[in-house]
Amino acid sequence: MVVTHFAVTGLTCATCLAELLEQVRSLDAVEQAAADLTVGGATRLVLVSERGVDAVAVRSAVESAGFALTVGTSLRAPHVGPAHLLAATIATGHGARATPRTRPQP
């Protein structure tokens, strides 16, 4: 499995996110796709494939959805908390469940 990260700009809402994911999931090489929506910045797009994805095909799918694939964008880790674990979870290959945190003992 190959996990590839991209940065996409221009998303403003959940409908935008759904359109983006629909377009990239239609690519033959893409087995799984997830994204952490960042309004007003670069949204992290995570694609999982058997042998990698063609960046030109990904760019075309992203542009077909009405957004821009950015190059050289520095992305921060996904937000913390169970509501924002999807891209981090898919990137690490673990199931989509949050791990309970334990408090340090005094």
Q: Please, what are the domains in the chain?
A: 2-92 (3.30.70.100)
Q: What is the pLDDT of residues 35-94, one digit of tens each?
A: 988 888 889 898 998 988 888 999 999 999 999 998 644 444 444 444 444 544 554 554
What residues are paired with 71 via a beta bridge?
Answer: none
**For residue 12, pLDDT beyond 80:** yes
**Alpha carbon 32 to its chain's center:** 10
CA distances to 15, 68, 75, 96 from 100, in Å: 30, 36, 25, 13
Q: Is 20 exposed, middle or buried (0-12, 13-18, 19+ CB in 10 A)?
A: buried
Predicted local confidence at residue 27, as pLDDT: 95
pTM, rounded to two decimals: 0.67
Q: What share of the chain is helix, strand, coil (3-state, %, to 5)?
A: 30, 25, 45
Residue 75 corresponds to which tokens in the numbers above? 């992305």
